Chains A and B, each alone.
Chain A
Amino acid sequence: MKKIFLIALCVMSLGSALANEAAPLADDPVTEQRLISISEEMRCLVCQNESLAGSRSDLANDLRREIRILIKEGKSDDQIRNFMVERYGDFVLYRPPVKPVTWLLWMGPFIILAIGIAGLLMYLRRRNSSIPNTILTDLDNQKIDALLNSGNQKEG
């Protein structure tokens, strides 16, 4: 029952979203361009797999309206990003900022790479040293030559 209701709700909201989609684009192409470039870098909190630019959720609509107002007020991109982060946290940004909490996130892959390289080097070094270095005497060399020669003769 719940499912049917949800599907119905989705279908209905889709209709209304299509109906009023084009309205705000009309006024100012420069503002719209900036709005898109800012909101493409932000996550919609309602549908978390969508960017704020692409989401049709009601909240995304409101937030785009809010960003549009901020642009018209002459705010810089950084100020607008701060406006969003103050309210929803770093989670709204698709590119998390570099700061102590996110160090592990940014550095983690490189740390793991370094550990991997160090492990590989250690393994290779240990394998090298585990094979005994034998020093060949003249007698050994003669034996080797004899073996190689006998092989060649059979093939020939």
Chain B
Amino acid sequence: MKAKFLIPLLLFIGLVVFLAIGLNRDPHEVPSPLINKAAPAFEASQLAEASKTFSPASMKGQVWILNVWASWCVACREEHPVLVELAKSQVAPVIGLDYKDKREDALAMLSRQGNPYALSVFDGNGRVGIDYGVYGVPETYIIDKAGVIRFKQIGPLTMDLLNQKIYPLLTELKKS
């Protein structure tokens, strides 16, 4: 008889648990459908030297990182020291994708804050970004030797994320 009175309480607790999970999830983090798919091909001019182009196909056979950034992006400035650290570790080359930016602004930012990128691709109209499903800069993709996207971070990288997730993943991918 007593157990019956507990049913509404249990239902309420269940509801609270679901609401708590819902509240603690970031609605801006939409899982990317591109995970475990081939990184979309493109050919775009480089930021520093407009006459040279870059294509993901040229990275085949190595694990690399694609970091989407822009000079107008405030969170990218926060992320910048972490990228410098990542580049210094030389675990994997970091390629920048300068998203919807002006060349001179982007170059000025790199010369002011330091350049963690092996090279940056210039995506002035955001067309490459659309193929990669970019919707909130900064975003970071880890691409394996076969050219498959294995990880995507939406929002700035942090030192914790580097140590706990990115470095282990990179070493694992490099082994395979």
Contacts and interface: CB of A to CB of B under 8 A. Distances in A.
Interface of A: 45-46, 48, 58-59, 62-63, 66, 85-91
A87 B33 contact: yes
Given A45-B30, A59-B135, A62-B130, 5 more contacts: A59-B126, A88-B30, A88-B33, A90-B33, A91-B30
A91 B27 CA distance: 11
A8 B136 CA distance: 20
A112 B62 CA distance: 50
A58 B30 contact: no
Nearest to A88: B133
Contacts of A88: 30, 32-33, 133, 135
Contacts, number: 39
A46 B136 contact: yes
27 contacts: A45-B30, A45-B135, A46-B136, A48-B27, A48-B28, A58-B100, A58-B126, A62-B100, A62-B126, A66-B127, A66-B130, A85-B33, A86-B33, A87-B33, A87-B34, A87-B130, A87-B131, A87-B132, A87-B133, A88-B30, A88-B133, A89-B30, A89-B32, A89-B33, A90-B33, A91-B30, A91-B31
A88 B30 CA distance: 8
A48 B31 CA distance: 14
Nearest to A83: B130
B99 to A, nearest CB: 10
Given A58-B100, A62-B130, A87-B130, A46 B135 contact: yes
A89 B31 contact: yes
Interface string B54-89: 000000000000000000000000000000000000
B-side interface size class: 10 to 19
A104 B163 CA distance: 37
B158 interface: no
Nearest to A87: B133
Contacts of B132: 87
Contacts of A87: 33-34, 130-133
Interface in B1-60: 27-28, 30-34
Contacts of A66: 127, 130
Contacts of B27: 48
A145 B127 CA distance: 91
A87 B130 CA distance: 7
Interface string B91-109: 0000000001000000000
B125 interface: yes
A99 B41 CA distance: 29
Contacts of A86: 33
A58 B136 CA distance: 11
A46 B30 CA distance: 11
A144 B21 CA distance: 62
A66 B128 CA distance: 12
